[in-house]
Every structure is written in C-alpha cells, then in structure tokens.
Amino acid sequence: MELKLREDDLAFQQDVREFLDRHWPEDVREARRNTGRFEESKGESPEVRRFFDALNERGWAVPNWPQDWGGTDWTPTQKYIWDKETARAECPQLSAFGARMLAPVLYTWGSDQQKEQFLPAIREQKMIWCQGYSEPGAGSDLAGLSTRAVRDGDDYVVNGTKIWTSGAHVADWMFCLVRTSTEGKKQEGISFLLIDMTSPGITVNPIHLLGGIHSVNEVELKDVRVPAKNLVGEENKGWTYAKGLLTHERTGIAGVARSEMTLARLKKVATETSVDGGSLWDDADFRRRVTELEIDLEALAMTELRVLSQVEQGGAPGPESSILKIRGTEISQTLQVMQIEAFGYYGMPYPDQTLIDNEGPIGEPFALAAMQAMLYGRASTIFGGSNEIQKNIISKAVLGL
Amino acid sequence: MDFSLSDEQSLLKDSVERFIQNDYDFDKRRKVMAEEDGFSRKNWQQFAELGWLAIPFSEEDGGFGGGAIELMLIMEQIGRGLVVEPYLPTVVLAGGVLRRAGSSGQKEQYLASIIDGSKLGAFAFAEPQGRFNLADLTTTAKAEGEGFTLNGHKCVVLNGPSADFFVVSARTAGDQRDAKGISLFLVDADAKGLSRRDYPTVDGLRGSEVMLENVKVGKDALIGDKDAALPLIEAAIDDATLAVGCEAVGGMEVLYKATVEYSKQRVQFGQPIGKFQVLQHRMVDMFMEYEQSKSLMYMAAMRLDEGYNDAAKRAVSGFKVQVGKSGRFVGQQAVQLHGGMGMTEELSVGHYFKRLTMIDTLFGNVDFHLKRYGSFE
C-alpha cells in the first residue's frame, strides 16, 4: 500500500498542468472567479470556446469515452488526476448532460446513426442537451412517470410535462424518459427517446430558483412528433439504460476537488476578514469547524481513492462507493454555508450583475458568487436521487435490509 | 497509488483473522478475562510462536521489519476480537520506544524477551496533571552517583499489573511543561521504591497508578539521549494512536454488522425492525462512519510508512478525530438499536461500545487531536 503517485503519473500530471496553464491561464481564471451568475453555456465567451477547441485538438475533451469516439486510454488514476487538475484550474466543463450523462448511453446502446449524429457534436460542445426525467408527479419515484409516447407510423407522439429540466431553455435536444406501456411493472414500460427541442408542440416555461437563478424549467410536450429512429435501444427498456447511466462516472461524483478549492478559498477569506483586531481565522470556534470539515473532506477523498483503486484493478466499485454522493454533497453544502458566514454583513447585498458591471462590486467581490453557490447548492442533495433515496439504496443493496 | 496488500501482508492479516475467528469468540474472551492476569498467558505464547510479537522490530533486532501497514492489519483484527492481551502496551508502546532508541544492550535484554513472549512491558508516560500533554511532567529523575533517582506518580499505566518492566518518562531538566529536559528510563517492575495500585479499566483491560519513590536506576537505564526524549515519546504515541484507531475501525465493523443482523431478527409491530426506514437510515449512517474511518486509517498508515514527519502526524491526528467521533456514534447507536439487550453485559455490543468510548480518550480525544491537526497547517 502506498499513496504516492508513480513517476509516469507525475509526468502526466505535469503535462496536464502545462496544458491548462496555457489554454486556461490565471488571468482568465481570475476574471471569471467573481462572476457567480449561473451559466448554462451555449452562448459562451470566446475564451471558453477557444478552450473547448483546444481540448478537442489535444484529444482530451471527453477522457472517459471510448477511444473510437474521441476518448482516451487513460487509467483510472490518470482520469482522477485530470478531474483534480481541471477543478484546480477552475476551467469550464463540457455540458454534463451531453458529455457525461447521455453519451455513455449512446455509445453503449445507441444506433450507429445516433452515434454519428450526436457524439462528435457533444464532444465539441456544439450541441447542448437537457434531461427530461422528472415530472410533476414523478420525482424520487421516477419510475412513476406518465409522459406518454404512442407509436404512430414512423413517429412517436409524445404528450406530457417534464419539470426541473436544467438548461431546457438553451438546449438543442432533450433525452427523455417516456411511458410506452402501462402493462406489467412500471419500470418495464419506459423508453428512452431523443427529442429535438425545435419540434412543434414543445413549450419551455422558466422556473426561477432561490436567488433568482434561472437554470431549470418546466417543459410541456403537446402532440410532439418524434421520429422512431430517435428511440435509443429497444422500446420499454429505457429504465435499464437510465440506470446503467448511473453507474458511469463514478469518480468525480463526490466533488472532492471542487470542495478542496472551496475550502482553500474559505481559509483565504477567513484570514482576510477582520474580527476584533485580528482575523476570522484566529477565531477558535470558526477555525475548529473548518478543521472538522477538512478532516471530513480528507476522509471522502480517501474513500474516492479506494474506489478508484478497485476499478483500476478491474474490480467493481465496492460498497463504499455508494457514500460518495451523500458525503460529497453534505460537505460541499456545509462549505458553502461557511463561506456565507465568513462574509458577515457583506453576504447580504444581492445586486444585479449589470449594477456590478457598471459600478463595481459591493463589499466583497466574491460574496455574490458564494451566495449563489450556497443557494443553488441546496439542490445537490435533492437531484440525482435525493440523499434520502441514496440511503434507501445503500440500506437495500449494501446492508441487505 | 496502490491499495493492495503484499503477499506477506495478506498472510499476516489472514493469520490474525483466523485466530480471532477460531480462538477468540466472545465466550472464550470472557474466560480469558477471568484469569488472574486478566488475559491468557497461553494466548500470548501463541502470539509469540505466530511471530506477531516480532512484527515491528527490525530484522537486525530479531524481528520482521514491519511498518505501519502491518501494525494496522494486526490491530484491526485485535479490535474485531476485543483482544485483551497486552499487545499495545508491550509491543507498540514499550517496544516502540526501545526499537527506536534502545542501546544494543537494552535491545538484547528487552526486545529479545518481548519477541519470544517471556517479558511484558508498559509505558508510564501519563501523569495526573498532564492530561494529554506528553511534556507535562512532574516526575523527576535526578543524576546521582552512577545513575538516576526517580520520584513521581504515573497514572493509568496500561498493563501495569503484569508488566515486567516499565518505560518511564521523567524530567531531567527544565520546567514542568518544557519540551526539552525530558528523558526516558527503563525501570524493572520489582525495583525498590516502585509501588502500584492496580485496577481493571472499564473496557476490560488492567491498569495501574505507578508511584516512584526514590527509585534508583543505573545510567544504563537511560533510553536514548538525556533531556531529548520528547520526539521519541511522540513517535511511539503516534504509532499507538494509529493502533487504537485501527482497533476502533475493527470494532465499528463488528458493531454495524451486528446491528444490521439484529434488526433483521428482532420483530416488533409484526415485522423485523430493520424494515423501519428511520432505523435503516441510522444504520446507513453507521456504515458510512465506519467507511470514512477506514479511509483515514489507510491514509494515516500509508503516511507513517512514507516517513515520520508533519504530514504523518497530521494524518494520525485526523484519523483519531474521525475515529473519536465515528466510534462514539457507532457505539452509541449500536446500543440504542439493540434496545434493552444492548444495555446488558451478556451481549458483546456493550463491550465494544465501552472499548470505543475509551479509545476516544486514549492518547488524546477529539478536541485534542483537532487542535493538533490544525497546528500542522
């Protein structure tokens, strides 16, 4: 047993750092650091576009994909290093719905035509996807969804309502779970459809989240005609594909690297915030809580490494992998709240971005981004299977209860 | 980065695991504890024959040259079996000091007899006023003639009643809490002027208050350099901290699994209580605490094997904080979910709970190690 990275991994890490420093340099990082407004990017800035182009040119845009489709032959350790370094560099990520969630379904179960049509465009961030899963009546109980797709000639006709659809207002396409059968178990009548968002009959209604953030939507589908070639895999097997998707992308789910960045920033803020003639970092109570959190985060990081090493040796992730999402989101939420605490009164101003652009920040430049991260961060224990659902899963699958 | 065990390590793990499974169930442990010493001399000889008492010592000293990973593998199993034989005080603590700084004469005399199981040791490092501060010493050792004269009171010395010799920390210079001026001495149990008040501890071990009244030792009793023993004490205590942490991880594993099993058997309101979601989530929390502790256990052991530096000390303290909190939670919830039965001496659950509670105290509790962890920024 040893923790140190091997020589070749260290060399790889160096390559990655040089690449990121060149294509996502510190001045760009700094400029974007304090703009917290939640972005769903298609109309991204020129430097973001250049960064994605550089990624594609180097062949590093989608490390986890199969090599045939532009992925890499990296070991799990290399992928881990990549995740860590990209988080440290605070560089933009490809839209996760396409690159991380849909793509594995497509390259595993999609038709050749679907792969050709979608995978390169996703890899180049030229096609933005949204995920049509949740419905007003199907949240944690996702399999209870009722959006109907009825076969009519060469098309499916889709009717229903999807909700909490992130980025639907900027997406070109939606991958969608629809009911194609009401026979048998409810999981067995679900299909996986790809829907062009410009299709007639689709209405996207914005939902404004806490803090005025517009990232999620309600999507109404009224007699939307979807060509049958846009069905992924077999009819009524959609639940299997959606579940298979959940086992992809194990690493990174804990958000360790991101939380490490937040922790470092929290410490910096605390040392710069004055309290009683000293700094907040001198306050023993505050410091104790930060220290406790740091240990929690170290434990999580090690748990992730344990999972990684099992995968590297060709094994399946062990039961400890199931706790990554729960602990990861709990820790990041606590960090987010502590950042707000650190700002004191200057956590309160909530100006419009245009006001800041014209007249400069009020108080702490970073406070606004931190507040938005905290508000939006509450969603992390709700989406992707709420933490309570995660505990149900562990209880059943790991403890056998 | 590599989490796999070497073949030798796997063999060691299997050998201890097998012993715990076959020869150390809860009833056998109870019988062993009823023996006069509070543990089994026969078991101890078996440990010697199996080579476990030689693990941390260098091949030069007649040992196997094992490191923190080997210690971890043994202690985790010791924790699972709630083993009461004095491995920690003899091999990890007294042996840990001697292997680091003992003279060749001291090693020949003491290490060899630890390894063959003929002598037991104890480390008298704590004092009533000192709490967890290893440098807070009022016990003195005055240079007199050819040797030293020791006076003082050492508290809660584990394995005190059975120890053939003690390693004793004492002040040879400086003020009560100075880092400098601390020395270590070998004192035989039958030394004139050494007296003990022996007692059982709550977790089924034995301890002593050790009083030193004009105890005279020769100059060859000094271990390592005079006035400079604090780093040596700290190093041995960090090993021991890792060791009890590993014990806790082993204990937590037993407890969360036993609780899950019990909840499948125990029927109330017409169904196994494990069907109740509120209890399911509690047990998931226990499982997560165990896994997080295990992760930091690996980290601490691997850091210690990389070298004894600030990063290693920090990792040990981080691990101890985690184990302190998790052990308390898992122990308390195991008792809670076992209901009235969890409160009884009959069931093993309560005994694990007691051990876990004491492990939080040993070598510094959560508060102490949080501060220490933070001091290595």
Burial of A383 per CB tally in 10 Å (0-12, 13-18, 19+): middle
Q: Do B292 and A296 touch (CB under 8 A)?
A: yes
Residue A181 lies in a domain: yes
Q: How many degrees, rounded to 5, is the angle at CA A229 between CA A228 and CA A231?
A: 70
Among A4, A388, A401, the residue with its CB nearest the CB of B260 is A401
Q: Report chain A residues whose CB lies below 8 A from the CB of B5.
A: 1
> Is the residue at A111 inside a domain?
no
The reply to whether A147 and A263 lie within a common domain is no
Residue numbers in A near B374 (CB within 8 A): 287-288, 291
Same domain, A264 and A203: no
What pLDDT is stored for residue A38 in this prediction?
A: 41
Q: Given CA atoms A353, A28, A214, A384 in this order, what sign does their dihedral have? A: negative
The Cα A137–Cα B221 span in angstroms is: 78
Q: CB contact, 8 Å: A302 with chain B? A: yes
- Average pLDDT, rounded, for chain B: 97
> Which range marks the domain in which residue A292 is found?
250-397
Q: Which helix (H) or strand (E) holds A353?
A: helix A353-359
For residue B36, the 8-state DSSP code is T
Give the pLDDT confidence score for residue A33 in this predicted structure.
72
Domain boundary among A93, A119, A152: A93
Q: Are residues A272 and A373 in the same domain?
A: yes
* Residues on chain B touching A299 (C-beta within 8 angstroms): 292-293, 295-296, 318, 322
| pLDDT of the residue at A42 | 52
Residue contact A303–B280, C-beta within 8 A: no
Q: Which of A306, A395, A400 sits opposite B3 (nearest CB)?
A: A306
- Could you tell me if A25 lies within 8 Å of chain B, comparing CB atoms? no
Reference A48, options A24, A16, A74; nearest CA is A24
Mean of the pLDDT values across residues B153-177? 98
Residue A194 maps to which CATH number? 2.40.110.10
Q: Are residues A154 and A263 in the same domain?
A: no
Tokens in use for A199?
Answer: 């299709």
A361 within 8 A of A368, measured Cβ to Cβ: yes
User: Per the CB < 8 Å rule, is A3 touching B306?
Assistant: yes
- The domain boundary, picked from A236, A267, A290, lies at A236
Q: What are phi and psi of A174, to 5 degrees?
A: -130, 130
The widest CA-to-CA distance across chain A, in whole angstroms, is: 76
Q: Give A325 to chain B, closest Cα distance, Å.
A: 11
Chain B CB contacts of A300 under 8 Å are: 292, 295
- Do both A254 and A385 map to the same domain? yes
Q: Are residues A215 and A265 in the same domain?
A: no
Residues B138/B152, Cβ–Cβ less than 8 Å? yes
Residue A303 in any domain: the answer is yes
Cβ-Cβ contacts under 8 Å, A327 against chain B:
288, 292
pLDDT for A307: 87
Cβ of B283 and A399 within 8 Å? yes
- Per-residue pLDDT, B29: 96
In a shared domain, residues A230 and A311: no
The residue-averaged pLDDT of B293-314 equals 97
- Alpha-helical runs (H) found in chain B: 7-23, 26-34, 41-50, 68-81, 87, 95-101, 104-106, 112-115, 230-265, 277-306, 310-338, 348-361, 366-374
In a domain, A329, yes or no: yes
Report if residue A104 sits inside a domain: no
Q: Is B271 in the A-facing interface, judged by CB distances under 8 Å?
A: no
Contact check, Cβ <8 Å, A299/B295: yes
Does residue B63 surpass a pLDDT of 70? yes
Are B279 and B273 in contact by the 8 Å Cβ rule? The answer is: yes
Quote the pLDDT of residue A320.
72
Distance separating alpha carbons of residues B235 and B98, to the nearest angstrom: 12
Handedness of CA A15, A20, A23, A25 (dihedral sign): negative
What are the residues whose beta carbons fall under 8 Å from the beta carbon of A104, sequence distance 6 or more?
A64, A65, A244, A245, A248, A249
Residues A382 and A328 in one domain: yes
- Whether B281 sits inside 8 A of A9 (CB atoms) is no
Considering only CB atoms, A3 lies closest to which of B302, B370, B374, namely: B302
Whether A235 sits among the annotated catalytic residues: the reply is no
ipTM above 0.95, yes or no: no
Euclidean distance between the first and the last CA atom of chain B, given in angstroms as a whole number: 24
Q: What is the pLDDT of residue A245?
A: 64
As a whole number of angstroms, the distance between CA A211 and CA A378 comes to: 12
Interface check B260 vs A, CB under 8 A = yes
Q: Is B293 on the interface with A (CB under 8 A)?
A: yes
Asked if the structure places residue A242 within a domain, the reply is no
Going from the C-alpha of A333 to that of each of A87, A220, A259, A284, the distances in angstroms are 17, 32, 9, 21
Judging by beta carbons within 10 Å of its beta carbon (0-12, 13-18, 19+), is residue B370 exposed, middle or buried? buried
Of B260, B291, B305, nearest to A323 by CB-CB distance is: B291
CB contact under 8 A, A303 and B292: yes
* Residue A263 near residue A336 (C-beta atoms within 8 A): no
d(C-alpha B322, C-alpha B161), whole Å:
31
Which residue shows structure tokens 């109309």? A43
Query: Is A392 within 8 Å of chain B by CB?
Result: yes
pLDDT for the residue numbered A40: 44
Q: Which residue of B has its CA nearest to A291?
A: B374
- Using a CB–CB cutoff of 8 Å, tell me whether B291 touches chain A: yes
Q: Is residue A12 part of a domain?
A: yes
* Domains observed in chain B: 7-117 (1.10.540.10), 122-227 (2.40.110.10), 231-374 (1.20.140.10)
Pick B288's closest partner by Cβ from A6, A305, A327. A327
Catalytically annotated residue among A44, A188, A249, A312: A249
- Measure the CA–CA gap between B334 and B347, rounded to whole angstroms: 11
Residue whose tokens read 């769903």: A40
> According to the model, what pLDDT value does residue A37 have?
45
Does residue A9 sit at the B interface (CB-CB below 8 Å)? yes
**CA dihedral for A167, A189, A321, A60, sign (positive or negative):** negative
Residue B350 in contact with residue B324, Cβ under 8 Å?
A: no
Do A144 and A191 reside in the same domain of the chain? yes
Does A268 lie in the same domain as A393? yes
The answer to whether residues A172 and A127 touch, using CB atoms and an 8 Å cutoff, is: yes
Q: How far apart are the first and last CA of chain A?
A: 33
A89 and A56 in a single domain? The answer is yes
Spell out a b/e string for A330-369, using b for 16 or more CB atoms within 10 Å of the CB, else e: bbbbbbbebbbbbbeebbebeeeeeebeeeebeebebbbb
Of B1, B322, B374, the CB nearest to A309: B1
**Smallest CA–CA distance from B280 into chain A, residue:** A395
* In a domain? residue A21: yes
Could you tell me the two tokens for B142? 């005055």
- Cβ contacts of A323 on chain B, cutoff 8 Å: 287-288, 291-292
pLDDT beneath 70: ranges in chain A = 34-44, 245-252, 318-319
Q: Which of A141-145, B249-253, B297-301 has the lowest mean pLDDT?
A: A141-145
CATH number at residue A358: 1.20.140.10
Residues A188 and A271 reside in one and the same domain: no
Domain edge (last residue) among A214, A236, A258 = A236
User: Per the structure, how many domains does chain A have?
Assistant: 3
Task: Give the closest-approach CA distance of B9 to chain A in angstroms.
Answer: 10
Kindly list the residues from chain B whose CB atom is less than 8 angstroms away from the CB atom of residue A326: 288
